[in-house]
Structure 1
Amino acid sequence: MSQPFDVSCSRHGADVVIDADERRARLGHRGAVVWITGLSGAGKTTLAEAAERALFERGCNVFVLDGDKVRGGLCADLGFSLPERSENIRRIGEVARLFCESGQIVIVSAISPLRVDRDRARRLVPAPHFIEVYCRCPLAVCEERDPKGLYRKARAGQLLEFTGISSPYEAPEAPEVLVDSAASTVGEEVAKLLDELARRGIVRAA
């Protein structure tokens, strides 16, 4: 497995390779992977898009990798069995790593139900550049929201291996950022995330 930020095997001289400090000087911030996990309907995409907007308006190079969009392209060949879910997250993690190495802040919004898969993504990115965000929301609230009608279909047996109903979700045990979308506003969630990015030296404090 390739190591992030390792240019020791490059054929070129050190004066040619662009390092992380040069990218930070150009962009005004460090690269990072913000990995938002939670049940379907927990508010991951809402938080990701709001955080992207807030960082963009502060002049950051930032991009959202949305799980649904990745599923429709890069991972269109995968189903929803646990092994295929793991491969889906592996691919997202590799793409996120490349964004991070380029000096960008990439916000991943994906259910990513298993801790082992999220931990594997974490290992691709050196500390303190990986920030796991747990978008916590009770299952009953997610089902009540059900913006895509997926829970209704899962309860009716029309969707097999649906996370939270017929397939497991393992909540993070020690996320860097915990937001409760059933009790807090999006603005409060974004502020909490930006404070963590500033504390880690990824972006400048407001």
Structure 2
Amino acid sequence: MAFSFHVLDCGKVLETDQFGNIMSYISYRNFGFLSGLGLTGGKIPILGVWSVGIAGKLVVIRTQAPGDGWGAAVDLSLLIQNQKATTAFLPNMLSRWGGGLVIKNIFSSPLTYQNGTKEKWPLKTVIGGMLEFFGRVTLLVDLVLGNEVRVGVEWVPVHALSIRGGIRYAGVIIPSLGFGLQTGQYTIDYGIVLHPQLPIQYRLSFSLNI
């Protein structure tokens, strides 16, 4: 079981009129509270060990008063991992590989704003895969069906530190950089998202694994 708290800060978002003139700056932040539970099953020949998981999330939106709101949703997931994998092409290099399927927002209550507007959570199916080399470098690819593609790399120079970089394509190319610090059951992650059409986004999360 794991718990985490996330903060997304978009900084100052420009509010403009129909002519593009700057009228004001709007603060926009999201706060997320997540709780997840996973169960590990048996081993599938060749593929590896399978696990299933469920995660609940609560999102609180803070901006100008009429736009404040909140909503909740549930995700379901399936993960298959193969530890200490070796192949004829990558002898002693490939330390782990895996794949997964996530159905996001399969159950949800809509995002509800102070002005009475309600917004449904989009139902998404995500298929992903990962390759880990030498126990230090991990390559990841996620495909959100009909929506976007995500590619990332993580380097773990020492056990407690992870350095990450990635690119997400959702109509435009969105790069990101970040790092994670882990000590015992606690993890802190920090990331910067460089959207070409929006201000820089800062993401911070705290996690507890039980």
Q: TM-score, normalised by structure 2?
A: 0.29
Q: TM-score, normalised by structure 1?
A: 0.30
